[in-house]
Structure 1
Amino acid sequence: MQLKPFTAALPNASGLTKLTTGDQTWSAEDEQTQSGDSYYWYEITKNGVHQWRLIASWPVDQTVSTMIPAEINTVLYATQPVIEMLIDDWVGHFPKAFEFTDPANVTHRLWQITDDDVNADITEAMTNVTPRKTWLTTTSTKLVMLVADRDWAKFKEPVTAPDHLIKFLSD
């Protein structure tokens, strides 16, 4: 996969309050720019079930395999134990960027991977991963969320990310 880290804007305190309450009146004052290009680990929890996703930059001239066309498309890939082991190792070393529970009682947690060497390792580990080509969309996007097949199957109905979870700022 042609993935890259990227610079993002994330919700600040007022933005998290809006995401928690479902308030759709979003403005630039509800977000803060993160320093440097990073990957982001994203955990969604509903009814005690967890799903992990990697948020990365994706070449805009590519369409992706996805269930639901959205600002951040979801790409499924075959479970690979080496990647899962690396995810377990990486996430524990970085503080959470934020955590909130939305009105649908879904908890969202996001970690920013700020170390250049770790980001390089993620890029290298994901390069040889082939996404599953099951659902196609013509939506081309700068951001993609990658989910292992097994993790995707944990929820009977897909759980989506809020519209203002993360905003792409890199060129």
Structure 2
Amino acid sequence: MQLKPFKAVLPTATGQTKIQTATTTDWDHHDTIIQPDSSYYWYELTLNGVHQWRLIASWPIDQTVTTMVPGAINTVLYPQQPVIEMLIDDWVGHFAPIVEVTDTAHVTHRLWQITEPEVNTDITAAMAPVTPQKTWLTTISTPLVMLVSTTEWQKFATAPAIPDQLIAMATPHN
């Protein structure tokens, strides 16, 4: 997969409060912050004590896909990658999440920003030879992609909804 880190727009404390209370209709510039560096993001969803891990990355706008289903963020299902799981464990074990919010459906969303260039390089290299098993893409092409390993995907019968304002790409035409 042709993945790379990206500059993200994340919710501020006021933005997280709006996600928690579902008052996202009055979203403004005080509710977001652009991250200064390009990064990958580990994303953990927790519902009823079940955790699912995802990797959020950038990929080419013209990426070939196998299946198209409307969705908020592109999702790619890939074979289990022990290297990625090791990197998740190492990063999550040593750093606090940059965003942590529980929405009105009682789903907790946590994002860890990967700021170490060496780790970002390792992720890019580890995922380069991986062929996606299945993809769910929005009908509008977007360079933001969310990767889920096959074992992680099976944890929820129905994938929890992701708040629209949780994360976005700062410069979508990188």
CA distance in 2, matches of 1:66, 1:43: 24
Match of 1:158 in 2: 159
Matches of residues 6-155 of structure 1 in structure 2 within 5 Å?
6-25=6-25, 26-64=27-65, 68-133=69-134, 138-155=139-156
Residue pair 2:76, 2:136 contacting (<8 A) in 1 also:
no
Structure 1 residue identity aligned to 2:10: L
CA distance in 2, matches of 1:10, 1:21: 17
How many residues in Structure 1 have an aligned counterpart in Structure 2? 171
Structure 2 residue identity aligned to 1:76: L
Residue pair 2:7, 2:39 contacting (<8 A) in 1 also:
yes
CA distance in 2, matches of 1:89, 1:95: 12
Q: Offset of 1:100 from its aligned partner?
A: 1.0
Q: Offset of 1:136 from its aligned partner?
A: 6.3
* Unmatched tracts of structure 2, length 5 or more: none
Residue pair 1:66, 1:75 contacting (<8 A) in 2 also:
no
CA shift digits 1:75-100 (9 cap, x unpaired): 00111223212221233233210111
C-alpha spacing 1:42/1:68, structure 2 compared with 1 (3 Å): farther
* Unmatched tracts of structure 1, length 5 or more: none
CA distance in 2, matches of 1:98, 1:75: 22
Structure 2 residue identity aligned to 1:18: K
CA shift digits 1:43-91 (9 cap, x unpaired): 0000100000000001111254567533421100111223212221233
C-alpha spacing 1:68/1:23, structure 2 compared with 1 (3 Å): farther
**C-alpha root-mean-square deviation of aligned residues, in Å?**
1.8
CA distance in 1, matches of 2:95, 2:66: 29
Q: Offset of 1:138 from its aligned partner?
A: 4.6
Name the one with the larger strand percent: 1
- 2:127 is paired with a residue whose SS is helix
CA distance in 2, matches of 1:152, 1:91: 19
Residue pair 1:68, 1:74 contacting (<8 A) in 2 also:
no
Identity of aligned residues (%): 64
